[in-house]
Amino acid sequence: MNTPVEPDLPFNDLIDSARGDLAHQNLGKWLSDIKEKGRDDFYKLGWPSPKMESWRYTNLNKLAKTRFCLPRNTELDKLPDQNILPIDAPKIVVINGRFKRELSDLSEIGEGVLVNSFQDIRNEQKKLFDNKHYAMPPKEGLPVAALNEAILSDALFIEIRAGWKSEVPLHIVLIGYGDHIGFSPRIFVSAGENSQIDILESHAGDTGSTYFSNCVSNIQIESGARLGHYKFQNDTTTSTHLALTQACIKTDAVYDNFVMSVGGILSRNEVRSLITASGVECCINGAYLGTSNQHIDNTTFIEHAAEGSRSREVYKGVLADRAKGVFQGKIFVHPEAQKTDGYQMNRALLLSDKAEIDSKPELEIYADDVRCSHGATVGELEEEHLFYLMARGIDAESARRLLVEAYLGEVIDEIQSQKIREILSKSASDLLKEKLFESSDG
């Protein structure tokens, strides 16, 4: 029996059972090494507490006191289609953190896109982790990423070959299913030179399930590539979603990231992008809708480490009931990153007296020839807008819905992919009707 190194940290049980996960024994020592390393890092970094600057507004104490176990089952007869975005695209299905090839549909994916998982590492007897594109990035200050590795059960490796321009988006459907289970989806994307693709991650749960999804995505975008990376987080109302996306962007590449958070009792989406070269266009945008007692955290970090790149960041959210939103956005400009063009805007609409937003924009600039601006607004629906709509015959509820939809629509319009824009716009409209405006027509 092992003595836990740090008995005060949560999820010891989870980590211990991940160490002894029999299903993994035939995968080889490399996986135990990753988990071992993840566990050590996690113990070193400690569990996020509100005393840590980047976790000041999101308290995980309650989550830490909740017991989760590893998923015993990753079989699911039927996908909860009603919770998944209806998009006509090749589909990668991940259940409780594990890739399910038999539920996926990769027939139209095209020869320039390769999808692998741990299963393939075993089959091909080669270590995908040796591929330089899939190197594990450093985890300083990121305990959640360390936990992801400590309980890792599978990972997706998506490679877009150099020069491949995909006509169709790729839909990754991540489903949580079970009662008080904890799992850690892991996604590696490598967009080769001058490649192009849109990837949509849909995070949802089987209705009635309660889980803790601790998801990490590592994105490598080579020179001249264009990656649209979109996420729809619609986990079940009792679940927790803690996610980290780390992107590394090279010369003249475009990274268009958008996160739409609507699900879960507690969610945090942390997007960190490192601009390593010039000519990069990096868009980190998002929309959120919080109702009842949801807590939705969007934390972003954009690092300009080279001259002449552009970043743009717009987040807009709607908070009703007792929902709480957090926005933390930092732009860091290195001394050598002259001619950086950075823009950041965070806006929140509060629909009730008890809804709350904590907003912390931060610029840290060490170059002198840069253009960086940021702004934040918090507001309510304006009486004069409502009256104008009502004076044209639109009832109060429908007027509110139209205005809220328009408010979110403005940020959804930031999405560069028309197909994804349309689907998220439709879904926002449906969700508003379902969650906020049940009684209104039209």
Partner 1 sequence: MSILSIENLYANVGENEILRGINLKIEPGEVHAVMGPNGSGKSTLSYVLAGRDGYSVTRGKVAFKDKDLLELEADERANEGVFLAFQYPVEVPGVTGMTFMREAYNSRLRYEGKQEADAMEFLKLVRSKAKDLNMSDDMLKRPVNVGFSGGEKKRNEILQMAVLEPQLAVLDETDSGLDIDALKLVADGINALRTKERSMLIITHYQRLLDYIEPDHVHVLADGKIQRSGGKELALELEANGYAEFAGKG
Among 335, 406, 426, 434, binds partner 1 (CB under 8 A): 406
Work out how close the CB of 387 gets to partner 1 at its nearest, in angstroms, rounded to a whole number: 5
Q: What are phi and psi of 24, to 5 degrees?
A: -100, -5
What's the one-letter identity of residue 227? L
Asked if 181 interacts with partner 1 (CB under 8 A), we say no
Number of Cβ within 10 Å of residue 304's Cβ equals: 31
Answer for which of 275, 402, 420, 432 binds partner 1 (CB under 8 A) is 402
Query: Smallest Cα–Cα separation from 215: which of 225, 228, 206, 204?
Result: 204
392 near partner 1, rule: CB under 8 A: yes
Confirm or reject binding of residue 387 to partner 1 (CB under 8 A): yes
Rounded Cα gap, residues 370 and 388, in angstroms: 42
Closer of 260 and 394 to partner 1 (Cβ): 394
Nearer to partner 1, 81 or 382 (CB): 382
What minimum distance in Å lies between the beta carbon of 85 and partner 1? 22
C-alpha–C-alpha distance, residues 274 and 301, integer Å: 8
Based on the shown chain and the rule CB under 8 A, indicate whether residue 430 belongs to the binding site for partner 1: no
- Is residue 393 near partner 1 by the rule CB under 8 A? yes
Under the binding rule (CB under 8 A), the answer on residue 378 touching partner 1 is no
- Measured between alpha carbons, how far is 287 from 327 in angstroms, rounded to an integer? 11
Q: Does 375 bind partner 1 (CB under 8 A)?
A: no
Verify binding: residue 137, partner 1, rule CB under 8 A. Answer: no
Asked whether position 398 contacts partner 1 by CB under 8 A, the answer is: yes
Distance CA 233, CA 249 (A): 24
Q: How far is CA 343 from CA 116, 176, 316, 352, 370, in A?
A: 36, 35, 14, 29, 11
For residue 353, give the DSSP letter: T
**Both structure tokens of 111:** 């020869």
Rounded to 5°, angle at Cα 232 from 229 and 235: 140
Number of residues that bind partner 1 (CB under 8 A): 24
Q: Check residue 407 for interaction with partner 1 (CB under 8 A).
A: yes
Per CB under 8 A, the list member of 384, 418, 438, 439 interacting with partner 1 is 384
Provide the minimum distance between the beta carbon of 408 and partner 1 in the complex, in angstroms, as a whole number. Answer: 8
List interacting residues with partner 1 (CB under 8 A): 383-385, 387-396, 398-399, 402-403, 405-407, 409-410, 441-442
